[in-house]
Amino acid sequence: MQAMFINGRGALDDAHRLIDTYGDDAGFEAAILAEQSRSDGNVVRFCHWRQIERVIATLASDEVHGSIH
């Protein structure tokens, strides 16, 4: 997996809000929001929600990625 890029605190806040609201289904909800944004033609929001989906998957993973210091 490549290094995770997180575009500011707002991205983490959105991920946290979805996890609090949807629990294990938070990633699915982020995917739904991404698809809605794509359907609306909003590329920026589509990319945002896809990033949130990846952040949620990373937070839920037990695997270690990158270097350990």
Q: Within a domain: residue 13?
A: yes
| Banded pLDDT at 2 (limits 50, 70, 90) | low
Q: Over range 13-39, report the average pLDDT.
A: 96
Does residue 42 form part of some domain? yes
Residue 17 lies in a domain: yes
pLDDT at 69: 66
- Flag whether 39 is in a domain: yes
Percent of the chain with pLDDT over 70: 90
Check residue 31 and give its pLDDT.
97
pTM summary value: 0.82
Structural domain harbouring 47:
9-60
Please compute the mean of the pLDDT values over residues 56-68 and round it to a whole number: 79
Domain count along the chain: 1
| 2 lies in some domain | no
The set of long-range contacts for 48-53, using a CB threshold of 8 Å and a minimum separation of 24, is: 48/7, 48/11, 48/14, 51/5, 51/6, 51/7, 51/11, 52/11, 52/14, 52/15, 52/18, 53/27
pLDDT attached to residue 7: 80
